[in-house]
């Protein structure tokens, strides 16, 4: 079960012509797919398109009604390979993933499908995780399109433009027998808005039709001599067909004015940000009306050369707004103009930064620099207020800590790293190879564990070079998400085959947690539409690992012991520790409503949570350094003599028990207590509590009386 449920929202997908669709960008894309008559959809989750996968998942009944097959692919490569269905048959299909990481994984199949060419329209929707909030290396998807010859759409970020481009993209794909990639930036995925809906379209030619009437065309298989034919076909037939189609159907837009000797070329996705910057510079109004000519590229590959030449011909200089580097469009534009002997000056990275997201502020500075040189006096004055002066800003940098990220309250992965920290105290530090997933937070304080992260599922292969006799072993981490994504073969299989003697810790929390809690092959939860419940232990043993130890992650003592054994045993060969416990977010999502309902109904229910005694806590925070749980915070020390803040347990404690385990395993202080709160207690509960209370109360009163003999009273 995914983190966010779209069960209500997906009903919007059924609306038809004459109605207006209101909602988030991602939901709009799904609606556009259905309006385009797709036969199949696949993909792999990851921000910013996790929600697209969740929407599709929750919309499965609607998809089934329309005869659309939806697949939660094992990884992006598997998703891309799905597009093979459109090579021989007039079937429309779409796949989606997080880019560029997902595109990296998919690129093998993408190159193949681009070489074969497609008969049915194929759309690859990539969520570009670039700029603020991104969690991956900062790269562009653009070169993937260039190298494999896939057309790249970058629509203006409003729902009408986005959905129109989805529909137009399929037509372009079919007209040019080429897959089309639709690039959506993170904010466009989550933007709210509306567009005029159309009826959903049931595919005329179905998957079943294809399966029952197979068609084979040797010319479409990537093997000599066809592969050489494909290369020529790409250049001589598909490319010109695409250019003609893009021009004819006006994919790109000429916006703004038509006069003057300067103009702007912009990627469609950056159009709104550019217009805001222009408005602030006094060059446009809120509706985007401006006398500066703007050529908006809703298709960023291929470039339409004569449109480009026409736009630039009468201009002295053109500002090229292209985010990221290398600046492929700017380079191509210069070539186009040079070959046409046009002297127009293309100004891009000269005034705009090579690295980083193009925010309104960045574009405003770029505009100012551009107009200062090429149309002086055009910008009167920038209107925004002056923010904080740099001196105060610098001072603030010192007093504002970076935004805290880390494991959730009660997270079952945290104690694994607590155990590793405790083991390292005894045995010294180890080389730790990390993977992709929530567990990567181990590299941050308070754990500071982990050396590298090479990719999803690549944790163990990231340490495969260290396969040589040594006095210390290496530890690799992998989540269950990464394991099924490819770690099973690239990590475990690889280690067995190459006689690795090191350790892999698989964080088996039952979900692809980092991407939003989607189900996996090994999820313990029942799933109506997928097969779950396939234990990782069976898979690992099946590959030939003999040393396998499943450990409950909340059992800190056993985890410490198991890690120590794995690190010190004389047994040779790959060692796998399965750190098992359900993702707390998912667990709470499932159990909390049930518990609350039971309490409301009057059933006897026990809730556990932890607390810290302010009296005995001395404010050393060793517990925080070992746990890092967000519900462990600090508060003023109520003791007037002590200066350091005490540890405090917040109300969001879920009572996972790790605090107690840590105090025991690390021999910390006696300040932690666990409290079991019995809601709707039974008669026996009450009687027992009453009896205990009476005896304890008697003893306490006796002690209080004794203490009263030494009371200092209170000052009047």
Q: In what order do the strands lie in the sheet with 122-128?
A: 69-72, 40-43, 93-99, 122-128, 180-185, 151-153, 299-301
Pick between residue 225 and residue 404 the one whose CB is nearest to other proteins: 404
Pick between residue 42 and residue 48 the one whose CB is nearest to other proteins: 48
Pick between residue 26 and residue 579 the one whose CB is nearest to other proteins: 26
Beta strand pairing call for 262-267 and 317-321: parallel
DSSP string, 440-470: GGGGSTTT---SEE-STT-TTGGGTT--S--
- How near is the Cβ of 131 to other proteins at its closest, in Å? 8
- Whole-angstrom distance, CA of residue 272 vs CA of residue 309: 24
Q: Exposure pattern of 565-597 as b/e (b: 16+ CB <10 Å)? A: ebbeeeeeebbbbbbbbbbbbbbbbeeeeeeee
- How near is the Cβ of 689 to other proteins at its closest, in Å? 5
Pick between residue 41 and residue 623 the one whose CB is nearest to other proteins: 623
- How near is the Cβ of 703 to other proteins at its closest, in Å? 7
What tokens were used for 517? 């809690």
Please work out, in degrees rounded to the nearest 5, the angle formed at the alpha carbon of residue 466 by the alpha carbons of 460 and 470: 130
- How near is the Cβ of 417 to other proteins at its closest, in Å? 13
State the residue for tokens 């605090």. Answer: 659
Q: Exposure pattern of 40-62 as b/e (b: 16+ CB <10 Å)? A: bbbbbbbbbbbbbbbbbbbbeeb
Pick between residue 423 and residue 543 the one whose CB is nearest to other proteins: 423
- How near is the Cβ of 343 to other proteins at its closest, in Å? 32
- Whole-angstrom distance, CA of residue 239 vs CA of residue 560: 60
Label residue 23 left, alpha or beta by phi (over 0 means left) and psi (-120 to 50 means alpha): left
Q: Which of 265, 111, 93, 85 is nearest to 166 (CA)?
A: 93
Q: Exposure pattern of 664-676 as b/e (b: 16+ CB <10 Å)? A: ebbebbebbeeee
Pick between residue 22 and residue 316 the one whose CB is nearest to other proteins: 22
Pick between residue 526 and residue 701 the one whose CB is nearest to other proteins: 701
- How near is the Cβ of 424 to other proteins at its closest, in Å? 11
- How near is the Cβ of 395 to other proteins at its closest, in Å? 7
Q: Where are the beta strands (DSSP E) in 402-526?
A: 432-434, 452-453, 475-479, 503-508
- How near is the Cβ of 471 to other proteins at its closest, in Å? 22
Pick between residue 493 and residue 516 the one whose CB is nearest to other proteins: 516
Q: How far is CA 143 from CA 46, 105, 147, 326, in A?
A: 21, 14, 6, 9
Pick between residue 153 and residue 408 the one whose CB is nearest to other proteins: 408
- How near is the Cβ of 50 to other proteins at its closest, in Å? 8
Pick between residue 12 and residue 609 the one whose CB is nearest to other proteins: 609
- How near is the Cβ of 517 to other proteins at its closest, in Å? 10
């Amino acid at each position: 079960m995914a983190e966010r449920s779209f069960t209500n929202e997906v009903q919007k997908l059924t609306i038809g012509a004459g109605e207006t669709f209101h909602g988030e960008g991602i939901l709009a894309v799904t609606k556009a797919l259905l309006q385009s008559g797709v036969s199949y959809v696949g993909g792999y989750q990851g921000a910013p398109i996790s929600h697209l996968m969740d929407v599709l998942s929750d919309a499965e009944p609607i998809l089934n009604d329309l005869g659309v097959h939806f697949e939660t692919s094992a990884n992006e490569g598997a998703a891309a390979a799905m597009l093979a269905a459109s090579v021989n048959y007039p079937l429309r299909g779409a796949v989606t993933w997080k880019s560029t990481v997902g595109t990296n994984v998919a690129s093998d199949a993408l190159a193949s499908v681009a070489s074969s060419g497609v008969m049915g329209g194929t759309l690859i929707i990539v969520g570009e995780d670039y700029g603020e909030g991104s969690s991956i290396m900062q790269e562009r998807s653009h070169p993937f399109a260039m190298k494999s010859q896939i057309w790249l759409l970058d629509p203006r970020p409003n729902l009408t433009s986005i959905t129109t481009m989805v529909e137009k993209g399929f037509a372009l794909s079919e007209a040019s027998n080429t897959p089309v990639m639709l690039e959506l930036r993170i904010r466009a995925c989550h933007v709210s808005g509306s567009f005029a809906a159309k009826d959903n379209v049931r595919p005329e030619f179905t998957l079943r039709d294809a399966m029952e009437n197979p068609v084979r065309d040797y010319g479409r298989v990537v093997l000599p001599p066809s592969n050489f034919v494909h290369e020529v076909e790409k250049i001589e037939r598909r490319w010109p067909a695409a250019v003609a189609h893009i021009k004819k159907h006006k994919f790109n837009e000429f916006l703004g004015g038509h006069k003057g000797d300067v103009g702007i070329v912009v990627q469609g996705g950056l159009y709104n940000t550019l217009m805001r910057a222009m408005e602030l510079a006094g060059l446009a109004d809120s509706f985007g009306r401006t006398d500066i000519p703007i050529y908006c590229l809703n298709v960023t590959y291929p470039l339409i050369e004569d449109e480009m030449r026409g736009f630039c011909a009468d201009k002295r200089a053109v500002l090229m707004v292209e985010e990221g580097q290398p600046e492929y469009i700017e380079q191509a534009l210069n070539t186009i103009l040079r070959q046409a002997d046009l002297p127009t000056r293309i100004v891009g990275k000269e005034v705009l930064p090579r690295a980083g997201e193009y925010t309104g502020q960045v574009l405003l500075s770029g505009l100012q620099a551009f107009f200062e040189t090429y149309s002086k006096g055009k910008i009167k004055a920038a209107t925004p207020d002056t923010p904080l002066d740099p001196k105060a800003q610098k001072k603030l940098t010192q007093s504002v800590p970076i935004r805290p990220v880390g494991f959730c309250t009660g997270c079952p992965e945290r104690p694994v790293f607590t155990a590793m920290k405790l083991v390292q105290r005894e045995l010294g530090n180890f080389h730790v190879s990390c993977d992709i997933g929530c567990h990567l937070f181990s590299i941050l304080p308070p754990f500071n564990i982990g050396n590298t992260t090479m990719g999803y599922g690549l944790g163990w292969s990231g340490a495969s070079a260290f396969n040589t006799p040594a006095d210390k072993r290496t530890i690799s981490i992998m989540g269950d998400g990464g394991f099924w994504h490819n770690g099973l073969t690239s990590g475990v299989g690889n280690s067995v085959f190459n006689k690795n003697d090191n350790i892999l810790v698989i964080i088996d929390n039952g979900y692809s947690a980092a991407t939003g809690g989607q189900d996996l092959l090994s999820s313990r939860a029942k799933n109506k539409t997928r097969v779950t419940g396939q234990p990782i232990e069976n898979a690992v043993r099946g590959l030939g690992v003999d040393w396998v130890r499943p450990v409950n992650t909340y059992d800190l003592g056993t985890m410490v012991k198991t890690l120590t054994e794995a690190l010190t045993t004389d047994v040779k060969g790959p060692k796998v520790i399965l750190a098992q416990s359900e993702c707390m977010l998912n667990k709470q999502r499932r159990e909390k409503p049930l518990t609350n309902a039971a309490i409301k109904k009057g059933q006897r229910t026990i809730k556990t949570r932890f607390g810290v005694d302010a009296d005995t806590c001395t404010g050393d925070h060793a517990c925080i350094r070992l746990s890092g749980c967000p519900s462990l915070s600090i508060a003023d020390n109520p003791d007037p003599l002590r200066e350091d803040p005490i540890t405090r347990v917040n109300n969001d404690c879920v009572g996972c028990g790790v605090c107690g385990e840590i105090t025991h395993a690390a021999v910390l202080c006696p300040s932690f207590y666990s409290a079991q709160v019995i809601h709707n207690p039974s008669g026996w509960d009450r009687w027992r509590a009453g009896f205990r209370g009476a005896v304890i109360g008697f003893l306490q009163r006796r002690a209080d009386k004794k203490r009263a003999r030494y009371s200092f009273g209170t000052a009047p």
